């Protein structure tokens, strides 16, 4: 049996020296390693019929032969591949292999656009931690312990009395503690809430704006939004303000823009109203100023916020927020930039 192994090895070495290209190498591989009729494969089958006394020696010889065949074929393939460019003419007129250009995520694109707009308006960019204390996320923003926003169904709580911030508003508090008026800042970042459907995600991005100085009025807020909204959508829009309640502003409002899909005529996207909701805003509540040591009799300010995903969904006509986080290249490749 061992002599048979040696004879197959010698025959393989002779056949391999005659193989000159990839096609003949494949023929040699099939002749020796093929599943049905390969010579080495047949030896492996015969191993089961070998008497126990000689099975170990025969098995080692067959395995050594198989390793020799595989290694020799691999070296021969590499040599053929290395020699191929020298033997084959190169047609320089053929088109090159194009590189697929990369692009930023659509959320990143919108975030960058928002940053550029506010930097042009003289705002500074501020940031803060995503894991917050109760004081910065709730108490300093005039949200008392009994407020529904503190409910376990809305907030992700972690150990040590900490939580994942439910909005980017804590950055306003940290900035006011750090700086004295005048302040003109925006904060862009992630926020977290226990909510998940086609328009809500447990992880989402917000932009928060704050202006504090002497003599700031609601008219300044309105003018800021009237400048920002058309810029971010790249078209003329009408702004509508509606009274609303938020604990950290007084008076508070929600602001809408004329529907970008029907130009305010009324459609299914705006539910026939001609307007689409954008976010919340208002004049900073005196209680918030007191928490950071500002004199509410001297200073006034306005704040506003909105979701970055919401802007991206409106700009691109996307119905399901979850598409942003599924890492589907078929979706993401539609947003070059």
Non-local CB neighbours of 250 within 8 Å, separated by 6+ positions: 282, 283, 285, 286
Q: What pLDDT, on a 0 to 100 scale, did the predictor assign at position 186?
A: 97
Q: What pLDDT, on a 0 to 100 scale, did the predictor assign at position 191?
A: 94
Q: What pLDDT, on a 0 to 100 scale, did the predictor assign at position 56?
A: 80
274, two tokens: 């001609």
CATH topology classification for 106-333: BirA Bifunctional Protein; domain 2 (3.30.930)
Q: What pLDDT, on a 0 to 100 scale, did the predictor assign at position 282?
A: 97
Contact 134, 147 (CB under 8 A): no
Q: What is the DSSP string of 35-95?
A: TTT-HHHHHHHHGGGS-HHHHHHHHHHHHHHHHHHHHHHHHHHHHHHHHHHHHS---TTSP
Q: Which residue in 76, 52, 62 sits closest to 7, CA to CA?
A: 62
Q: Which residues pair with 303 in a beta bridge?
A: 210, 282
Q: Which residues pair with 133 in a beta bridge?
A: 162
| Eight-state DSSP code of residue 200 | B
Question: Could you give phi then psi for residue 300, rounded to 5 degrees?
Answer: -130, 165
pTM beyond 0.75: the answer is no
Q: Which residue in 268, 323, 279, 275 sits closest to 305, CA to CA?
A: 279
Q: What pLDDT, on a 0 to 100 scale, did the predictor assign at position 40?
A: 84
One digit per residue, the tens of pLDDT, for the chain of length 337 reads 678 888 888 888 888 888 888 888 888 888 888 887 788 888 877 777 778 777 788 788 888 888 998 999 899 888 888 776 666 677 888 888 888 778 899 999 999 999 999 999 999 999 999 999 999 999 999 998 887 766 655 888 898 889 999 999 999 999 999 999 999 999 999 999 887 777 778 899 999 999 999 999 999 999 999 999 999 999 999 999 999 999 999 999 999 999 999 988 889 888 999 999 999 999 999 999 999 999 999 999 999 999 999 999 999 999 888 999 888 888 988 888 7
Q: What pLDDT, on a 0 to 100 scale, did the predictor assign at position 268?
A: 87
């Amino acid at each position: 049996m061992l002599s048979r192994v040696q004879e197959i090895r010698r025959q393989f070495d002779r056949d391999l020296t005659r193989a000159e290209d990839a096609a003949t190498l494949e023929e040699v591989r099939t002749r020796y390693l093929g599943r049905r009729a390969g010579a080495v494969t047949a030896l492996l089958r015969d191993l089961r019929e070998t008497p126990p006394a000689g099975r170990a020696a025969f098995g080692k010889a067959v395995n050594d032969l198989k390793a020799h065949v595989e290694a020799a074929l691999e070296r021969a393939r590499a040599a053929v591949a290395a020699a191929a460019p020298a033997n084959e003419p190169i047609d320089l007129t053929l088109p090159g292999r194009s590189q697929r250009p990369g692009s930023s995520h659509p959320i990143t694109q919108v975030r960058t656009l928002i940053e550029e707009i506010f930097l042009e308006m003289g705002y500074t960019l501020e940031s803060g931690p995503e894991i917050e204390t109760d004081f910065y996320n709730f108490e300093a923003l005039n949200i008392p312990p009994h407020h529904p926003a503190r409910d376990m169904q809305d907030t992700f709580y972690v150990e040590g009395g900490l939580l994942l911030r439910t909005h980017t508003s804590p950055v306003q508090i940290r900035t006011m503690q750090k700086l004295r008026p005048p302040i003109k800042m925006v904060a862009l970042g992630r926020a977290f809430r226990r909510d998940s459907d086609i328009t809500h995600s447990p992880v989402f991005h917000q932009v928060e704006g704050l202006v504090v100085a002497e003599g700031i009025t609601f008219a300044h807020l309105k003018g800021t939004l009237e400048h920002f909204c058309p810029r971010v959508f790249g078209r003329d829009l009408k702004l509508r303000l509606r009274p609303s309640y938020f604990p950290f502003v007084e008076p508070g409002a929600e602001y809408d823009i004329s529907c970008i899909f029907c130009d305010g005529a009324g459609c299914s996207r705006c539910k026939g109203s001609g307007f689409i909701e954008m976010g919340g805003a208002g004049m900073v509540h005196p209680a918030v100023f007191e928490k950071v040591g500002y004199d509410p009799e001297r200073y006034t300010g306005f704040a506003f916020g909105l979701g970055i995903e919401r802007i991206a969904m409106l700009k691109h006509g996307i119905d399901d927020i979850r598409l942003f986080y599924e890492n589907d290249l078929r979706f993401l490749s539609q947003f070059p930039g």
